[in-house]
């Protein structure tokens, strides 16, 4: 869960891809948290932070894989469909592209912001095209912390997408986020449990609108 300063090694893309191939077969240390509209959400306690990391498996109907990957990577479009985005942009820093993302939090909590790198690769698994996106927090002097916003220093996400054999997508997502500040861990875990499926649902709707645009 540490900061990363460069790109991701090829093994990490392969490892994420293998998670999708297993599709819901997780280790004994992962607990099935909930099933929600065709998605299974598992969690595992990170003892160092008292927070959970999550794995999500499911199918998004009528969302072709290439479109879903485009929607996820299109930051300008995300500002239209994600109601929690306050600020979101890419910036070149030290020869690498980083993303700045500020998230709206309800009053009286301060907004959170993230500085992270992300990479997308398309892999071939037995003739099947797999879209893999990795993201992890980083630190660059060009984007300093703000006094009125809490910087999230521990953030990691993986998204893996392949065809469901019809017109939809099989999806695997890994997610860990430590928002810091004086928020009880039970509240953070409750938000994450509900926020991940809601995010995927919103992204599915965004896919439909994206298809209408193109």
Q: What's the pLDDT score for residue 194?
A: 66
CA torsion 72-76-81-86 (nearest 10°) is 110
Q: What's the pLDDT score for residue 102?
A: 96
Residue ranges in the chain modelled with pLDDT below 70: 1-6, 181-194, 213-214
For the chain, what are the domain ranges?
28-211
Output the six-digit token pair for 42: 């598992």
Distance, in Å, from the CA atom of 46 to the CA atom of 69, rounded to the nearest integer, reads 29
Q: What's the pLDDT score for residue 142?
A: 94
Distance, in Å, from the CA atom of 15 to the CA atom of 37, rounded to the nearest integer, reads 26
Q: What's the pLDDT score for residue 2?
A: 40
Q: What's the pLDDT score for residue 169?
A: 92
Indicate the fold that domain 28-211 takes in CATH: Alpha-D-Glucose-1,6-Bisphosphate; Chain A, domain 4 (3.30.530)
Distance, in Å, from the CA atom of 205 to the CA atom of 62, rounded to the nearest integer, reads 10
Q: What's the pLDDT score for residue 145?
A: 95
Q: What's the pLDDT score for residue 5?
A: 44
Distance of CA 136 to the CA centre of its chain: 9
Q: What's the pLDDT score for residue 185?
A: 67
């Amino acid at each position: 869960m540490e900061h990363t300063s460069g790109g991701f090694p090829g093994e990490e893309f392969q490892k994420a891809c293998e998670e999708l191939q297993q599709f819901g077969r997780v280790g004994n240390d992962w607990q099935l948290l909930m099933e929600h509209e065709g998605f299974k959400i598992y969690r595992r306690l990170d003892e160092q932070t008292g927070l959970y990391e999550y794995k999500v498996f499911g199918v998004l109907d009528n969302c072709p894989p290439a479109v879903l990957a485009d929607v996820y990577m299109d930051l300008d479009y995300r500002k239209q469909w994600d109601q929690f985005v306050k600020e979101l942009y890419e910036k070149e820093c030290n020869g690498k592209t980083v993303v700045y993302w500020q998230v709206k939090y309800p009053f009286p909590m301060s907004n959170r912001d993230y500085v992270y790198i992300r990479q997308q690769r398309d892999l071939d698994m037995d003739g099947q095209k797999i879209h893999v996106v990795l993201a992890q927090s980083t630190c660059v002097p060009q984007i300093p912390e703000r006094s009125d916003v809490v910087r999230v220093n521990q953030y990691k996400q993986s998204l893996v997408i392949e065809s469901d054999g019809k017109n939809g997508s099989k999806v695997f997502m890994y997610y860990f986020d430590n928002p810091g500040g004086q928020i009880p861990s039970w509240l953070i875990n409750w938000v994450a449990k509900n926020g991940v499926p809601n995010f995927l649902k919103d992204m599915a709707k965004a896919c439909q609108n994206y298809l209408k645009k193109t």
